[in-house]
Structure 1
Amino acid sequence: MSAPIFHLLAGAPAPVAPYSHAVEVDGWVLVTGQLATDPDDDSTPLPEGVEAQTVKTMENLKRVLAGLGLGFEHVVQARVFIAEFERDYAAMNAVYATYFAEDRRPARTCIGVTGLARGALVEIDVVVRRPD
């Protein structure tokens, strides 16, 4: 196994805790969970509602992936954390599904949680395989 590369990317959302945006080793990239923060102005409040937060979260993931020369087509696994599971699961799924080709959706776990950083409604992290 080669040494891991710790990525902190310019233009990606400011970390809300002490972490790297992604860690890469042997072609595998583990992307830290993203929230619906504004990457251009971290003081901006989170958008209202799970649909808007899911869009912003996915766009933030897209920004991190682009900074690594990757895209959603390279995602092999995702984890979704939802603060209001029963209320927001279907709405989150409707938005989430639009980011992946129907025949290339990653493996996924979706978990209801008691709280997320900054009072967010959704957080999503991904595992990516860099193409050969």
Structure 2
Amino acid sequence: MTPPPITRIPAPGTGRSDAVASDGYVYAVATDPECADGIAAQTRNTLHDLDRLLEELGSNRTRLLQATVYLSDIALKPQMDAVWRDWIGAEANWPQRACVGVGLETGYLIEVVVIAQGL
């Protein structure tokens, strides 16, 4: 039996992929490509980039199954959550989600990892 094909969107020059699709699922990670000032702006930019990755691999935010939000400071969660709620929309779109406070690369306040079904 031949394994299902894998489609990858490589991250620029890092030895990893920003997103991978296989067997009807999309796995993606996004950060703010502009590293904007403040958690609200970084969250908006990160989610915009996530939309792009999901679309490129045949999915979208309504197909999210799981999301992990990594924050440089867990105290930023309420501000991030306000942007997230506007982005994710109706309850029918809500994935299982966890938020974790972690050390991120200098300047980055948020990183989002998701699993979604293809369309």
TM normalised by structure 2 equals: 0.87
Listed one character per residue, the Cα deviations across residues 41-69 of structure 1 (whole Å, up to 9, x for unaligned) are xxxxx110000000000000011112113
**In structure 2, what residue type is equivalent to 1:37?**
P
Distance in 2, Cα, partners of 1:16 & 1:101: 34
Aligned to 1:128: 116
C-alpha change, 1:63 and 1:112, in structure 2 (3 Å) is same
C-alpha change, 1:64 and 1:3, in structure 2 (3 Å) is same
- Structure 1 residue aligned with 2:26, among 14, 24, 29? 29
Distance in 2, Cα, partners of 1:16 & 1:54: 23
Q: Does 1:106 align with 2:95?
A: yes
Aligned to 2:15: 18
Q: Does 1:57 align with 2:58?
A: no
Q: What displacement does 1:102 show?
A: 2.6
Distance in 2, Cα, partners of 1:126 & 1:15: 19
Distance in 2, Cα, partners of 1:48 & 1:5: 35
TM normalised by structure 1 equals: 0.79
Q: What displacement does 1:118 show?
A: 4.3
Distance in 2, Cα, partners of 1:63 & 1:17: 19
Return the structure number with greater strand share.
2
Aligned to 2:56: 67
Question: Could you tell me whether the CA contact under 8 Å between 2:59 and 2:117 is conserved in 1?
Answer: no
Return the structure number with greater helix share.
2
Runs of 4+ in 1 over 4 A off after TM superposition: none
Question: Could you tell me whether the CA contact under 8 Å between 2:26 and 2:54 is conserved in 1?
Answer: no
Q: Which runs of 5+ in 1 are unaligned?
A: 39-45
**In structure 1, what residue type is equivalent to 2:23?**
D
RMSD of aligned residue pairs (Cα, Å)? 1.9
State the percentage of identical aligned residues. 32
Q: Which runs of 5+ in 2 are unaligned?
A: none
